[in-house]
């Protein structure tokens, strides 16, 4: 396992095991969800992630086109739709102090589009990634495609 620190959180991760797990996943959450917000996200996915998030995902061995889950926050800021989601990876906390405090979860800013952090709180991914699994929780934003506007009425 390799060690990586992000925002005062340190994880141990297995890049090769993570790459292998992502190869076995056929589709992302958004690829299989028929809702308008997921279809909109797919339309703009290539632009949704910051270079810093993409670099982190590459380092961990995560396929950025296979979100475990993505969801609309239901808020528009400057005509941009806000999304959140998770990318699991094979890993564990390096130290007990690095774990997310469930009573004091990190809060996303509505105005910063490039926020992300490590977490152990996300939809269950043990079947695909094993018992030692953490995730990168992310925030992203996209424009609203006109093709999908009528679906939100």
The predicted pLDDT at position 102 comes to 53
Can you give the pLDDT of all 153 residues of the chain as single tens digits? 999 888 778 899 999 999 999 999 998 888 888 888 888 888 888 888 889 999 999 999 999 999 999 988 876 777 788 888 999 999 999 877 666 665 555 555 454 555 788 888 888 889 989 899 999 999 888 888 766 555 554
Closest to 67 in 3D by CA, of 145, 123, 143, 11 = 123
Record the pTM.
0.84
The predicted pLDDT at position 88 comes to 96
Quickly tell me which residue has 């996915």 as its tokens. 45
Kindly give, in sequence order, each residue whose CB lies less than 8 Å from that of residue 125, ignoring residues fewer than 6 positions away: 68, 86, 88, 133, 135
Counted domains in the chain: 1
Report how far residue 60's alpha carbon sits from residue 116's, in angstroms, rounded to the nearest whole number. Answer: 14
Report how far residue 116's alpha carbon sits from residue 67's, in angstroms, rounded to the nearest whole number. Answer: 13
The predicted pLDDT at position 23 comes to 95
For residue 8, the enclosing domain spans 2-98+105-152
The predicted pLDDT at position 11 comes to 92
The predicted pLDDT at position 99 comes to 65
């Amino acid at each position: 396992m390799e060690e990586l620190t992000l925002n005062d959180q340190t994880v141990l991760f297995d890049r090769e095991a993570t790459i292998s797990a992502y190869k076995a996943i056929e589709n992302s959450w958004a690829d299989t969800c028929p809702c308008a917000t997921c279809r909109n996200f797919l339309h703009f996915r290539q632009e949704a992630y910051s270079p810093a998030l993409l670099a982190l995902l590459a380092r961990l061995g995560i396929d950025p086109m296979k979100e475990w889950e993505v969801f609309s926050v239901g808020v528009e800021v400057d005509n941009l739709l806000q999304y959140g989601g998770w990318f699991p990876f094979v890993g564990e906390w390096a130290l007990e102090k690095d774990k997310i405090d469930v009573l004091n979860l990190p809060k996303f800013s509505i105005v910063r589009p490039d926020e992300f952090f490590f977490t152990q709180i996300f939809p269950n991914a043990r079947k695909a990634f094993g018992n030692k699994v953490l995730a990168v929780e992310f925030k992203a934003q996209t424009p609203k495609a006109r093709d999908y506007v009528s679906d939100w009425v």
